[in-house]
Structure 1
């Protein structure tokens, strides 16, 4: 449990439908990953931006209660970022964003330099001015820590799909582990075969590319191996935070397998397909718990063990 894990990216408030109105819930994809890791007993630090306002206090309280160490700067706007959520008939969430991402590059680099595992993703990797600092930190971490990336597609933030794809695929090539949803992968490569895109991404650098398929489970590409795991049947409350929970639990499992620090990539390459499948199944179980309850509410290790 002693691996130092740095998560870099946005923490915000999800404004969600509730009882005929709207309710503020803490969230943000990287923040959800950090919470998942901390609830599973990992030493997780989140490098983010939070204002000194009521929403910032709500998010900080949630992070601290889950055991996340928070390194946060105040955004230039003076207000905590938000995402207004719309839920479809199946509980699937879509988002409208009010986000500023402008962390100090020096502080970001310092947090990453102290970590054995580094995870980045979502808006923080595509929204300037912070995205450039995130990419630089990822380059510095490569071969020194396990580098993980979740390229959440955010069309409302990056309507130019070609430009977003170019940046995202640079980060894919810098990563050891990439977790991407089928929906997001289809946005980056519309009409393409998802497995072929995952194989192509894996060929550019990552030792492991995992594509989540919602209720259908996930597939993991590692070299010539393609490992498929089934989804966990569950009554869905909503899908908020499900993919982030999967990412956090996947990293938790990979840390257990020794994929940390400078030797992380070699460990990933040497793992048997059965170990990759076990890690993906652990992540799928964690995500199933999250979708079974409202909002981004990942399980603790005790809950997941039960």
Structure 2
């Protein structure tokens, strides 16, 4: 099982209501939620670990995952409210305003963490769940506990507007990055993580610290991945972009899905991945993301929609 560990929330998507102005449509989302959803739709065994409310939005979130076959046994339930993310779209690109104080997702602690099933092969982390407290401490503790034996995937997915203690967050990233096997970043992430530093230099530094695969998404130009010995780029698929909500999240799912299908989700296999296998995983990731951006909101494809899969 690939266990996705992080936020579930309601994306409040803007919709024009006649001549009355803009209303907001609540849609299940969250970066880690989206990755779990996409993995389930791709037919891989996926699980989700998060603090989830018992309110009406929490029930909607879990029902949405369950409909795509995602295992929910490890979710931590409480009566606290669900996080809301109001979305603003400018030329198809999304920015977010979060309402997360005292939420079910934010207030989980290390003491809430469950024992993971033996069949858990990989864990995926990232986004706002690593920023807030006490949940950030809880997810860091889980990552550190499981990193010696299981594949760790990390997508920082930086949200500058959500960061209230930049020094503490940078310190957390400095601690967890060397424990990850796979890291995916965008150009926007790079601009915040290491302004002015070329991707190649940053990737080589991370690889020297212990990371096995570093991926850079390139939007319309595809995606690039580096390992200690490989540097692979695959082209994008041409689609008409509706919006970019969930693009990176579903890219992560496509990449992990391909590795899982190939039997490569072990620490040893990731460390010695062949060029053909790396290119194939990038290609599926690009294909999954391309379908997602061609639709409104984070609506990842099912496996039957991915040609060649």
1:62 positional shift: 1.1
Residue of structure 2 equivalent to 1:82 = 84
Say which SS state the counterpart of residue 21 (structure 1) adopts.
strand
Deviation track 1:21-76 (CA, whole Å, cap 9, x = no partner) reads: 21111000000010111111111111112222222122122111111122333457
Unaligned runs of 5+ in 2: 17-21
For 2:238, what is the secondary structure of its paired residue? coil
Aligned-partner SS, 1:156: helix
Aligned partner of 1:191 in structure 2 is 196
**Do the aligned partners of 2:41 and 2:303 also contact (CA within 8 Å) in 1?**
yes
Name the CA distance, whole Å, in 2 between partners of 1:198 and 1:50: 34
Partner of 2:76: 73
Q: Does the aligned pair in 1 maintain the 2:253–2:285 contact within 8 Å?
A: yes
Query: Do the aligned residues in 2 keep the contact of 1:214 with 1:231 (CA within 8 Å)?
Result: yes
Match of 2:115 among 110, 113, 126: 110
Question: Residue 19 of structure 2 corresponds to which residue in structure 1?
Answer: none
Structure 1: 4+ residue segments shifted above 4 A: none
Deviation at 1:106, TM superposition (A): 4.3
Cα distance, 1:103 vs structure 2? 2.3
Partner of 2:97: 96
Tell me whether 161-170 or 235-244 shows the greater mean CA deviation. 161-170
Give runs of aligned pairs for residues 41-52 of structure 1, distance below 5 A. 41-52=43-54
Residues 186 and 194 in structure 1, CA contact (< 8 A), matched pair in contact too:
no
How far does residue 104 in structure 1 lie from its aligned partner after superposition? 4.6
Alignment of 1:209-220 (within 5 A): 209-220=214-225
Question: Which residue, out of 147, 154, 158, partners 1:153?
Answer: 158
Asked if structure 1 preserves the Cα contact closer than 8 Å seen for 2:237 and 2:286, the reply is yes
What 5-or-longer segments of structure 1 have no aligned partner? none
Over aligned residues, Cα RMSD in angstroms?
1.7
Q: 8 Å contact 1:81–1:98 — kept in the other structure?
A: yes
Aligned residues: 298
Q: Is the 8 A contact 2:149 2:267 kept in 1?
A: no
**Match for residue 300 of structure 2 among 298, 302, 305:** 298
Contact 1:47/1:111, CA 8 A, preserved across alignment = no
Displacement of 1:6 in angstroms is 1.1
Deviation at 1:17, TM superposition (A): 0.7
